[in-house]
Structure 1
Amino acid sequence: MASEKTPVTHDLSKLFEKIKDVRIAMLTTTDEQRQLHSRPMYTIKPEHDGSLLFFTDADSAKVFEVRRDDSVNLSYSNPEDNVYASVTGTASVYHDQAKINELWSEPMRAWFPKGKDDPSIRILKIVIEKAEYWDSPSSVLSQAYAYVRAVVTGEKSKDDDVNQHAQVKAR
């Protein structure tokens, strides 16, 4: 029996399309004890260079963690639409007031009450190295089809008949 292979693409646009409505990602870094440390982050937007941008505070633990070990993971999940993604990349932190001004939106004030001129705002940039996404139709009809097919044929559904699963390699 031939093993099924997950399709691989180098096109990040499909990944960005999948996660565009999932505003919160779980960012995982490695802490001082070399243990995984995760926290929610608000995704600002993907950049044309294949990176994702976030705002963070200059004194946050994640800033220290990514300066010591810049390998990170982002997990995106939208259970209502059955969309999931895992992104592995390299993190950097910097201050660029022009970029902060460009990316600023008023809801960010919840985290930075002083506004876009708050001197503690930093940009956390994650350059994507690889990613994987899963997208299954959420309709009852699609799920019923997969169930009936499995019962009748004794075979599990194939990726292309009820869901999408792909790996994205940015380089």
Structure 2
Amino acid sequence: MSDDIKKQFWKALADSPYVMLGAAGDREHSIPMNAQLDKDAHGAFWFFTATDNRLSGGGPAMAQFSAKGHDLFACISGTLVHESDRSVLDKLWNNSIAAWYEGGKDDPKLVLLRFDLDNAEIWTADPSIKGLFKLATGMTMKEGELGQHAEVAL
């Protein structure tokens, strides 16, 4: 099951790469960020941000994700680190990113953060026919009748 749910997660994130990201253990609110995915990368995704963003210093972080159709949810832990490989920046750079940085790839405020993934809890909301009937009639639900849940290493 965990491989299936991981595949569902990666597909959902590729379809809508927006997460709420915050420093782990921090009392600051999470902020919306656009995850930059690389199909060849395993265990990481990236965020473009600015030096004045409160997450720009990196460190332990948590991201929350909700799929477009609200049929998959995830809470992801990992560590934000400054990406120093210019080839990664060049590969991920696009017009949507360029619109935010007046100086382009060499803008002094530009920061590229890599989110080194640790693990995640993923939930799917895909009720069975029996589960839908129980929801509609107020019957007691049992685990697995509304979807799946897994703790996975990413």
The bucket for the TM-score relative to the shorter chain is: 0.7 to 0.9
Aligned to 1:18: 12
Shift >6 Å, 4+ stretches: none
Aligned to 1:45: 37
Q: Residues 8 and 169 of structure 1 are in contact (CA less than 8 Å); yes or no, is this contact kept in structure 2?
A: no
- Max Rg structure: 1
Aligned to 2:100: 111
Q: What amino acid does structure 2 have at the position aligned with 1:165?
A: H
Change (3 A) 1:151 1:105: closer
Distance in 1 separating the partners of 2:24 and 2:73 = 22
Is residue 100 of structure 2 the alignment partner of residue 100 of structure 1? no
Instruction: Please list every run of 5 or more consecutive structure 2 residues that lacks an aligned counterpart in the other structure.
Output: none
Distance in 2 separating the partners of 1:122 and 1:21 = 24
Q: What amino acid does structure 2 have at the position aligned with 1:85?
A: A
RMSD (Å), alpha carbons: 3.0
Instruction: Please list every run of 5 or more consecutive structure 1 residues that lacks an aligned counterpart in the other structure.
Output: 1-6
Q: Residues 12 and 68 of structure 2 are in contact (CA less than 8 Å); yes or no, is this contact kept in structure 1?
A: no
Give the fraction of aligned pairs with identical amino acids, expressed as a percent. Answer: 22
- Indicate the SS of the match to 1:132: strand
Deviation at 1:134, TM superposition (A): 1.2
Q: Residues 149 and 157 of structure 1 are in contact (CA less than 8 Å); yes or no, is this contact kept in structure 2?
A: no
Aligned to 2:153: 169
Distance in 1 separating the partners of 2:68 and 2:15 = 12
- Indicate the SS of the match to 2:55: helix
Change (3 A) 1:166 1:117: same
| Equivalent residue in structure 1 for 2:109, among 115, 120, 123 | 120
| Equivalent residue in structure 1 for 2:27, among 20, 30, 35 | 35
TM-score (norm 1): 0.72
Deviation at 1:45, TM superposition (A): 0.4
Q: Residues 19 and 85 of structure 1 are in contact (CA less than 8 Å); yes or no, is this contact kept in structure 2?
A: no
Change (3 A) 1:30 1:157: closer
Deviation at 1:106, TM superposition (A): 0.7
| Equivalent residue in structure 2 for 1:75, among 59, 64, 80 | 64
Distance in 1 separating the partners of 2:68 and 2:35 = 17
Q: What amino acid does structure 1 have at the position aligned with 2:22?
A: T
TM-score (norm 2): 0.78
Q: What amino acid does structure 2 have at the position aligned with 1:135?
A: T
